Chain A
């Protein structure tokens, strides 16, 4: 069964550094999402992406964040200058053109020191 994959599984970075989290959505899916979960808190929506542009973003998704689909398979989340409070589990999700079920990847744990 096709799956959403994410790399790396764990990333440690220093405050102020740029990080790129990578996702490979399911191949025939057209809608892509990033969510995050700070330890002990709810899963929160960050951004949705369709047809090579952002369709919706949350208040969390400020100018420090960007998303890109650089080729036909990858979907990336970039954080330009990481802060301690960016430490969280980041989940990528995708869904097909028909139906609204989102399929989640295993997550990338980002630790900012």
Chain B
């Protein structure tokens, strides 16, 4: 069964810390992997998309890496700010299941001043 797991489920850090969120997936045959941000009760904001042929993508203070062979992706947030507080979701488009994204349960991040 194709599954996506995110660790940790929750994280609380002081402002300014660099942090890493982890995503693992059960099948290395993927088309792409996407990281989303979700604020409480709100929609999904796409942060980064990594194609299966890429190793990493960067946007501002965010850097996402992909290691297909080990079934892992990490989202690195540099110099965290209270405004980064949200839930971060990892979603994978598996090969053969090109119609649907499989989502992880998310990491709930709290950055305190």
Contact = CB atoms under 8 A, between A and B. Distances in A.
Interface stretch (A14-22, A78-86, A101-109): A101-109
Contacts of B104: 42
Interface residues of A, number: 23
Contact of B98 (A35, A43, A100): A100
Contacts of A56: 99-100
B31 interface: yes
Given A43-B89, A55-B99, A103-B46, A109 B105 contact: no
Say what secondary structure dominates the interface of chain B. strand
Nearest to B41: A109
A104 B46 contact: yes
Contact of A43 (B31, B44, B49): B44
A75 interface: no
Contacts of A102: 34, 93, 101
A45 B97 CA distance: 11
Interface string A9-30: 0000000000000000000000
A91 B43 contact: yes
A100 B100 contact: no
A91 B105 contact: no
A106 B42 CA distance: 7
Contacts of B93: 100, 102
Contacts of B32: 100-101
Given A43-B89, A45-B102, A56-B99, A100 B31 contact: yes
Contacts of A106: 42-43
Interface of B: 31-32, 34, 36, 41-44, 46, 49, 89, 91, 93, 98-106
Interface of A: 31, 33, 35, 41-45, 48, 55-56, 58, 89, 91, 100-107, 109
5 contacts: A42-B103, A55-B99, A104-B44, A106-B43, A107-B43
Smallest CB-CB A-B distances: 3 pairs: A45-B100, A48-B99, A106-B43
